[in-house]
């Protein structure tokens, strides 16, 4: 276990909990930005350099800038909310979250501890990837040869999203 990954994991959990309880939306947005940066660091440390770069550029760059821009455009300040008014919602949310966490931990326990097997059945082991020219080269090659239809469809989806966002933001609804 790498200690650097452990440190990044602890920081990102602390930032996520701060995001959950922060009153100011800009605090929450900056905490989410921190979580995304820590995730990019973890991607880089386990050797996924292309995904780490995309995470930094698209997620931490573009999406979070959009969020912070919206918060500042709408001039959102501290929200005056109190969870105590609806204890049923509070209790059911905690129960659902705890249930999901328990389920995932049980599944991970089943996967890693009860049936520990050699599940590295793919052909892209680290040695093969290094021989083929690195993580970014392998992923890009697969993206433009094996998955080129998905790539084109995703670019079309992005175009539709651009047009849809402009139409939605400019139109005056009655």
Partner 1 sequence: MTNDVLVQTLAAVLFTIGILVVLLRRDTIMVLMGIELLLNSANLSLVAFSKSAAMIEGQLQVFFVITIAAAESAIGLSILINLYRNFGSIKTQNASTLKG
- Tokens representing residue 116 in the block: 């520990």
Q: Which is nearer to partner 1, 133 or 160 (CB)?
A: 160
- Of 109-168, binders to partner 1 (CB under 8 A) are 112, 119-126, 128, 138-139, 142-143, 147, 150, 154, 157-158, 160-162, 164-166, 168
Tokens of 145: 């040869």
Q: How many residues make contact with partner 1 (CB under 8 A)? A: 84
**What is the pattern of x (binds partner 1, CB under 8 A) and - over residues 58-97?**
xx--xx--xx--xx-xx-x--x-x-x-----xx-xxx-xx
* For partner 1, the closer CB: 133 or 157: 157
Applying the rule CB under 8 A, the residues between 5 and 34 that interact with partner 1 are 5-6, 9, 12-13, 16-17, 19-20, 25, 28-29, 32
Supply the minimum distance, in Å, between the C-beta of residue 10 and partner 1: 9
Query: 7 and 31 in contact (C-beta within 8 Å)?
Result: no
For partner 1, the binding residue among 46, 77, 110, 148 (CB under 8 A) is 46
* Residue 41 interacting with partner 1 (CB under 8 A): no
Token representation of residue 131: 């021989």
């Amino acid at each position: 276990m790498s200690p650097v990954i452990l440190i990044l994991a602890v920081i990102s959990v602390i930032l996520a909990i701060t995001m959950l309880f922060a009153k100011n939306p800009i605090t929450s947005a900056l905490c989410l930005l921190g979580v995304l940066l820590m995730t990019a660091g973890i991607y880089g440390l386990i050797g996924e350099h292309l995904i780490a770069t995309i995470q930094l550029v698209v997620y931490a760059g573009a999406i979070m800038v959009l969020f912070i821009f919206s918060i500042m455009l709408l001039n959102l300040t501290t929200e005056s909310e109190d969870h105590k008014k609806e204890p049923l919602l509070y209790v059911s949310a905690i129960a659902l979250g705890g249930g999901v966490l328990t389920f995932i931990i049980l599944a991970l326990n089943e996967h890693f501890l009860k049936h520990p097997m050699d599940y590295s059945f793919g052909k892209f082991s680290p040695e093969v990837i290094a021989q083929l020219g690195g993580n970014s080269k392998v992923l890009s090659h697969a993206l433009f040869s094996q998955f080129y239809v998905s790539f084109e469809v995703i670019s079309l989806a992005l175009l539709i999203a651009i047009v849809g966002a402009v139409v939605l933001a400019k139109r005056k609804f009655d």
